[in-house]
């Protein structure tokens, strides 16, 4: 009888330990299984080069969400970015989403200017105003091969 009591106590202890480990894994992994403090939005871009699933979403330099999924709209030839934003953040339908780079060669992130003065975006709302990332290698290539031309009278005087 004493043997079964000890095994039962150890079994309960192991089950409670596994539940605690599972709970901490979900919380530290920022997964939301039961409740969500975020709402989904969609932004459509001409290109999303460098942006990845899990990239941060920032407003005014503050991390307010994550990129959930990147797909392609075959019909309109656009890249569709699905993101999650904290519920207490208000984003309006005239918001502007742009892809930025952390530093000169850093990771890409999604920056949102939340807009204002119009209607709030509801869950699954679409941010229509978007700006793709600046491709530095393309700009350097254009500059190196003389495709970038200066504007103004000073450039003509140099010729």
Q: How far apart are CA 50 and CA 135, in angstroms?
A: 10
Closest by alpha carbon to 55, among 43, 63, 47, 45? Answer: 63
Q: How far apart are CA 3 and CA 21, in angstroms?
A: 27
pLDDT tens readout for residues 77-91: 999 999 999 999 888
Q: Give me the pLDDT at residue 2, please.
A: 67
Confidence of residue 155 (pLDDT cuts 50, 70, 90): very low
Q: How far apart are CA 97 and CA 116, in angstroms?
A: 14
DSSP letters for 69-135: EEEEETTTTEEEEEEEEETT---BTT-EEEEEESTTT--EEEEEE---SSPBPPTTEEE-EEEPPP-
Q: What is the mean pLDDT of the chain?
A: 82
pTM of the model: 0.65
pLDDT tens readout for residues 122-144: 888 998 888 887 766 777 777 77
Q: Give me the pLDDT at residue 156, please.
A: 45
Q: Give me the pLDDT at residue 12, please.
A: 93
Taking residues 111-117, report their average pLDDT. Answer: 85
* Residue 43: Cβ within 10 Å count: 26
Share of the chain above pLDDT 70, in %: 82
Q: Give me the pLDDT at residue 108, please.
A: 87
Confidence of residue 5 (pLDDT cuts 50, 70, 90): confident
pLDDT tens readout for residues 28-44: 766 655 557 889 999 99
Q: Which residues contact 87 (CB under 8 A, 6 or more apart)?
A: 36, 37, 38, 39
């Amino acid at each position: 009888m004493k043997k079964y009591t000890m095994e039962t106590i150890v079994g309960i202890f192991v089950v409670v330990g596994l539940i605690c480990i599972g709970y901490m894994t979900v919380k530290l992994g920022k997964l939301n299984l039961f409740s969500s403090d975020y709402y989904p939005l969609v932004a459509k871009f001409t290109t999303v080069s460098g942006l990845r699933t899990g990239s941060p979403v920032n407003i005014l330099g503050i991390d307010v969400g994550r990129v959930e999924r990147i797909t392609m709209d075959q019909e309109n030839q656009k890249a569709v970015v699905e993101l999650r934003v904290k519920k207490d953040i208000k984003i309006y339908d005239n918001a502007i989403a742009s892809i930025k780079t952390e530093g000169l060669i850093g990771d890409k992130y999604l920056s949102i200017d939340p807009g204002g003065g119009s209607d709030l975006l509801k869950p699954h709302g679409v941010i229509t105003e978007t700006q793709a990332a600046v491709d530095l290698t393309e700009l350097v290539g254009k500059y190196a091969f003389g495709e970038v031309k200066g504007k103004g009278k000073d450039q003509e005087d140099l010729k």
